[in-house]
Amino acid sequence: MDDLIEAAWQAEEALLTMGVRSDADRLAELLASGFYEIGQSGRRWSRDEIIDALVGDGDEHPDAALTEREARLINDDTVLLSYRLEFAARRSRRSSLWRQDGDRVRCFFHQGTPLPAG
């Protein structure tokens, strides 16, 4: 179980790096085929939409700080990660669901909720 949690955190953090964000193939490896995201705007993004947006964004978050980390096992192969993310003067709470898929973990849901300034 600890291996699943560690692998999910590593993959979650990788999604904030330019090396992953600019690589559609790597994103496709990390995001399950049925993945969807509810973004900070409230918009629902499909897997293909979020891959296109991230690859086109070209924005890395080297100053990203993940705090208030929590991991909860949902069952033997699924973990819920929740945390606070701060970067570029933006703050949000994030939640992701990751599932063991063979020898890797894949995210099948992500949500970002903005926090008020101040």
| Domain boundaries of the chain, sorted by first residue | 2-114
- Domain 2-114 CATH (choose: 3.90.1150.10, 3.20.20.450, 1.10.3720.10, 3.10.450.50): 3.10.450.50
Two tokens at 15?
Answer: 């999604």
Q: CA–CA separation, 101 vs 105, rounded Å?
A: 6
- pLDDT tens, residue by residue, 2-47: 899 999 999 999 998 888 888 999 999 999 999 999 998 899 999 9
Helix (H, G, I), strand (E, B) or coil at 79: strand
Q: What are phi and psi of 84, to 5 degrees?
A: -105, 135
Two tokens at 98?
Answer: 């990751």
pLDDT-derived band of residue 58, with 50, 70 and 90 as boundaries?
Answer: low
Question: Across the chain, what does the average pLDDT equal?
Answer: 91
